[in-house]
Amino acid sequence: MKSQWWKKSVVYQIYPKSFYDSNGDGVGDLKGVIQKLDYLKGLGIDVIWLSPVYQSPMDDNGYDISNYQAIAEEFGSMEDMDRLIIEAEKRDIKIIMDLVVNHTSDEHPWFLESKRDLHNPKRDWYIWKNGKEDGTPPNNWRSIFGGSCWEYDEQTNQYYLHVFSKKQPDLNWENPQVRNEVYKMIRWWMDKGLSGFRVDAITFIKKREDYSDIVSNSFDGLSPIADVSLNQDGIHQFLMELNEKAFSPYDILTVAEAPGVTSKELPKYVGENGYFNMLFEFDHVDLDLGKEGKWYQPNNWNLLQFKTAISTSQNIYNELGWGALYLENHDQPRSLNKFIKPDGISTTSAKMLATVYFLLKGTPFIYQGQEIGMTNVSYESIEEYNDLASIDQYQSALKEGYSIEEALAAIWKRSRDNARTPMQWNDTRNAGFTTSDPWLKVNCNYTSINVENSIENRDSIYYFYKELIHLRKSSEYSDVIVFGKYQALLENHPEIIAYYREFKNKKILIIANFEDEEIKAELDLSVKKIILTNYKNASTNLKDLTLRPYEAIVYEID
C-alpha cells in the first residue's frame, strides 16, 4: 500500500531559467536553486516541481530535450542535480521533474538516426509520412505553435510530425521499443532519488490514425491538431502501460498536464487505478481563451463560469481521485492580471485569490513569484519576447488583419513570458536575479514587488501564503483542509465564491468577494471562529454579511 504522501504536500514550481542565476551569465541555474532552498523552506513548501533542466538546444526553453540523462550546460551538471536532490532532502523537500516524452528535440540522437534514411532501425521511432501528390504536407493539421505540424526533410523526401515546434518531433508511441526506452529512462531517474514527475503534454501521445484532412474555417486553411491528437481512442492502453511499467513500482507523485480530458474521464485518469495521482485541468484557467485558442480573439467570461469549472471537478474529487490546485504556471499569465480588474490588483486581491484556490480539495501548487504577487509585463515590441507561442500568435494576428497595437495588446495579456520574467528577489539592479543582463527583461515593478520587501513586511502576500501553508500542514484544520468533502454554496451568486469543507466533526467555510466594491451575501450558517481573513477583522453575522472589496474570510462553522 502506498502512503500517498503527496496528498498533504504543497508544491512549488520552479522555472529554472528565471529563478536565480548563481554565476552571472544571465540565466538561472541549479546552483541558484540550491542557494534559495532555505527561502523555500521558510515559505513552508515541501515539494519542488522543477521545469526541464535536461540537455536541450532550448528552442522551447528545455521542453525540447536532446538527452534525457544529461543536464543542460547553462543549468549546471549532473553533480549539481544530485546535490540539489540531497540538499533538498536535508530540508525535507522532495523534487519532482518534468517528464517530456510526447516529443524530443530534433537534435536528440534518436531523431538524428531516424532522419538518416528510410530504412534506419529508428525510422519508425518518429512519425514520418509522404506528402500529398502535389508535394504539399500530408494533411492540414496546425501545430500548437502555429503553421503546419509537418516539416519536410529533403534527404528522405518525407515529412515528420510535430505537435509543437518543428524542433520538437513527436515520438511514435505506437512503437513498443520507444515506449520501453521511455520507461527505462524514467526508472533511471527514479533510482536517483527523484520523488515523481509532472508529465508534460501527455494527452497528445496518440494521434488519429487516418491522418486525413479536417475541415478548416481558418485563414490559413489549417485546423488545430488538438482535435485529432488529444486524448484519442487507444491512448488508454499507452497510459496504463506507462503507469504499470514506470510509475507503479514507486511511491511517487505523478501529475499530468492533460488538456482534452473531460470530467467524465477523470476516473480513468486519476481514479483508484488511474494512470496518474492527479492532473492539471484547464477549464478554470483558460476561460479567457477564444476559439481555436487565439489570444487576439479573447472570450468574455464571468465568475459563474469559473465557479462551475471548479465545482465540476471538485464534486468528482469528493468521490474519487485528487485535485491539482493551481492558478499559475510557466504557460499561463499571472493570475492577478487574469482574474482581477487592473485597478483592483493589490495585496488584498492577491490574498483573496490565494484563499479561494488553496483551500479546495487537492494538492496546491504555487508558481514562483506568485507568493509575492508578481504581475504580467508589457514589453514595447515583439522583439523583446522569447516565447515561441507569443511570436506565433503575434504573427497570426497581423496576418488576420489586426494592427500592431492590437496584436501586442493580446501578447501583453496572454504571453507565456508574463510568468517567465526573472524572479524578483530584491530592489537592486535586475531584481537581484543576476549580476549581468538577464535572458529576459525584468518586470520594472521589481523595486516594490520583491522577496526582500515581502519578508520585511508582516502584512505581505508572502506571509499570507505562509499562513495558508501552515493551516494546511500543521493546524487543527489540517485534516479538514486536506481530506474534507467539498460543497459549493451560493452557486448562482455572480460576484461571490463560497464553499465549505467538512471532515468528521469539523466544518470550514471559505467565502470571497471577487469585486472591488461591497457585496452582500446571506448564508444560514453560524460562525464558531474566524480562522483567516485578508482584512484586519471580519464580520461574524453570516445571515446578513457585507463583504468589502476583494474580502476573503475562512470561518469555522457549526
Sites of contact with ligand GLC (CB under 6 A)? 60, 63, 100, 164, 200-201, 257, 330-331
Active site residue 257: yes
At its nearest, how many Å lie between Ca ion and the CB of residue 367? Answer: 21
At its nearest, how many Å lie between Ca ion and the CB of residue 435? Answer: 10
At its nearest, how many Å lie between Ca ion and the CB of residue 368? Answer: 16
- Angle subtended by helix axes 347-358 and 461-474, to nearest 10: 20
Give SS3 for 551.
coil
Residue among 46, 59, 200, 551 flagged as catalytic = 200
Shortest CA distance to 486 belongs to which of 307, 272, 326? 307
Binding mask 421-460 for Ca ion (x = CB under 5 A): ----------------------------------------
The answer to whether the beta carbons of residues 394 and 377 sit under 8 Å apart is no
Please identify, using beta-carbon distances, which residue of 123 and 420 lies nearer to ligand GLC. 420
Which partner, Ca ion, ligand GLC, none, binds residue 27 by CB below 5 to 8 Å per kind?
Answer: Ca ion
Give SS3 for 409.
helix
The answer to whether the beta carbons of residues 541 and 513 sit under 8 Å apart is no
Which partner, ligand GLC, Ca ion, none, binds residue 257 by CB below 5 to 8 Å per kind?
Answer: ligand GLC
Please identify, using beta-carbon distances, which residue of 46 and 257 lies nearer to ligand GLC. 257
Residue among 21, 74, 170, 257 flagged as catalytic = 257
At its nearest, how many Å lie between ligand GLC and the CB of residue 79? Answer: 26
Which partner, Ca ion, ligand GLC, none, binds residue 551 by CB below 5 to 8 Å per kind?
Answer: none
Please identify, using beta-carbon distances, which residue of 100 and 449 lies nearer to ligand GLC. 100
Give SS3 for 368.
coil
DSSP string, 10-38: -EEEE-GGGT--SSSSSS--HHHHHHTHH
* Beta-strand relationship, 47-50 and 94-99: parallel
Please identify, using beta-carbon distances, which residue of 25 and 331 lies nearer to ligand GLC. 331
Which partner, ligand GLC, Ca ion, none, binds residue 397 by CB below 5 to 8 Å per kind?
Answer: none
Please identify, using beta-carbon distances, which residue of 63 and 275 lies nearer to ligand GLC. 63
Please identify, using beta-carbon distances, which residue of 348 and 368 lies nearer to ligand GLC. 368
The identity of residue 294, as a single letter, is K
Active site residue 191: no
Give SS3 for 509.
strand
Could you give the C-alpha distances from 206 to 103, 171, 209, 477, in angstroms and in order?
A: 12, 10, 8, 42
At its nearest, how many Å lie between ligand GLC and the CB of residue 13? Answer: 10
DSSP strands (E only) in 263-371:
278-280, 324-325, 363-367
HSE (side-chain half, CA atoms, 13 Å) at 477: 23
Which partner, ligand GLC, Ca ion, none, binds residue 23 by CB below 5 to 8 Å per kind?
Answer: Ca ion
**Contacting range for Ca ion; rule: CB under 5 A; set: 27-35, 170-178, 293-301, 446-454:** 27-35
Residue whose beta carbon is closest to Ca ion: 29
At its nearest, how many Å lie between ligand GLC and the CB of residue 297? Answer: 21
Which partner, Ca ion, ligand GLC, none, binds residue 29 by CB below 5 to 8 Å per kind?
Answer: Ca ion
Considering only 5, 7, 8, 23, the residue that binds Ca ion (CB under 5 A) is 23
Q: How far apart are CA 241 and CA 199, in angstroms?
A: 15
Residue whose beta carbon is closest to ligand GLC: 63
Give SS3 for 201.
coil
* DSSP 8-state secondary structure symbol assigned to residue 51: P
At its nearest, how many Å lie between ligand GLC and the CB of residue 9? Answer: 20
Shortest CA distance to 498 belongs to which of 327, 359, 347, 317? 359
- Quote the cell numbers at residue 331: 504557460
* DSSP 8-state secondary structure symbol assigned to residue 358: H
The answer to whether the beta carbons of residues 403 and 429 sit under 8 Å apart is no
Residues catalogued as catalytic: 200, 257
